[in-house]
Chain A
Amino acid sequence: MMLVPVTYKGGIYQHDIITDLIEDLGGYIVQKHIIASEVVLQCFVPKEDIELIRRIGKPLFGEVTDSPLVGTEIAVVSMSLEIHHLPHPSCDIAEYVRRIGAKSNMVSLARGPGKRIAGLNDEERDVINEHDLAVFLLGNFETCIEYKIPKLRRGIDVPVILCGGPDEAALRRITDPPFDGYVGGVGRFMRRTKEAEQLEKLDEIIRVITGVVEKKREAIAKDPLSVSPARLMDLIREKVPAILEVTSPTPLTVQMRGLRVKLPFDTFAETLKKMEIEDGITLGDVAEVLPSRMRDYILVKILPFSETNMVV
């Protein structure tokens, strides 16, 4: 059974029919938002059952769309929290990525701006590395990007997409080794992205991110994970009731290779490790439970089949 990421949007009336259907089909709901009288479900569903969900959702004004970024956590790395970089373009991009299913976090660097003075500290590096991929938003000058990028990428081992004012060819020329994706013409600007030309740029960023995510999914498929992150999310929700009391919008954030569990590490790490998945196999057998650098959250890194020799 192949699960594909989709978004379901429909009326709130009788939407539990859809949630039950997705669960019965063996799918997982990653995020559920209720906005006024509309419900948005970001979920993984079996590929062959999409038509069935569409058919059943039709009388409830439901729409099913592809959302390739569902189940990914993306870091939008902004150079600072000053008016120079926020809310445009950092928030515009973070919000746009969110619309198609990704969980985006904004990471603002303490010493990001400038040329000579720019740098990245260990906490920022670790937080970025906890994500599936990072989108670096740089400024308008080729000279500055060329000078500062070696310092900013040091220690980052997740795929990086570089956005900057110079065109794509220039960005490629000044960065060595190359990044996983480039989007030129998106540097610092002080206006809201609402014109067609600017929205086209945002779509380009999405295209590049989707390409990188698909490549990563292909790599994971070659050595599959011991347990699917979405399944693990469902199990934690069922077996660790404390998670239901967390007020964060996404108490369990699904990533491509793991999960972020928004519970304190010291109190819950052992409980999680001992949680049984199936037939006596515990979470500790198939995943690493690590402290996250983001607050005191827990980071669950699922091990691949090649390391555990089992798939549950």
Chain B
Amino acid sequence: MAALEYFEVECPEPLGAEYYRQIANDVLLDHNLLKVVEKLHIWIDPKVPVFVAVGTLRRITTLVRVRDFVNVNPLEGKMTLVISDETYMAPMLKIFWEKFGKDHVEQPDRFTVMLYDVKADPREIEEIVVADPSESLFRDLIYALRCIAPEGFRLRKEKFDKTKFSFVASENTLAEDIDALVAEKFALIGVKP
């Protein structure tokens, strides 16, 4: 887990902590969140029972542009776009339809898009912003933390802002002083809640 600056799982049962470290690692990896999360501290006490995850986030400034996954080849009267990664194909087509109209956009196969009679400069097309990964970040992060937390822990309290997050879950009503526990865990990663 090289991408995280700090990653710790604390639990009164050492073997349980080891397993949860592995689960957290796998889930963050599967959801492509390793680049986004900077520090992560997880505290699980199965006796209470309670699951607390606190962490900090990296700033995501990169926007996904057409040039990141497309090769634009202009020819007379038409442009051939060769796609190397299909992930953002749908939002890209949507933007093209709005901008140029459906009559001018054609997709003959999975990895090719043709633009006909488009007056725009190829460079201009390359610069079009297709997606902003930070938009779905919080949704993805909450989903990932729900996957990491034990399933029976269905009472949750989440707090997110642009730089840090906390996630508390339990199967019992959360204690009134749960914020103190969260603050304590935040202190371990050097952050003020």
Contact = CB atoms under 8 A, between A and B. Distances in A.
At the interface, is chain A mostly helix, strand, loop or mixed?
Answer: loop
B46 A79 contact: no
Interface string A109-146: 00001111110000000000000000000011111100
Contacts of A82: 151
Nearest to A192: B26
Interface in A66-118: 79-80, 82-85, 113-118
Q: Which of B26, B150, B154 has the most CB of A within 10 A?
A: B150
B180 interface: no
B16 A79 contact: no
B151 A141 contact: no
B147 A190 contact: yes
Nearest to B47: A143
Sorting the interface of chain B by its residue count into under 10, 10 to 19, 20 to 34 or 35 or more gives: 20 to 34
A298 to B, nearest CB: 35
Interface residues of A, number: 26
Contacts of A187: 19
A115 B152 contact: yes
A144 B147 contact: no
A141 B26 contact: no
Contacts of B150: 84, 113-114, 139, 141, 144, 188
A189 interface: yes
A114 B26 contact: no
A140 B19 contact: yes
A165 B17 CA distance: 11
Interface of B: 13, 15-16, 19-20, 22-23, 26-27, 30, 44, 46-47, 49, 147, 150-154, 171-172
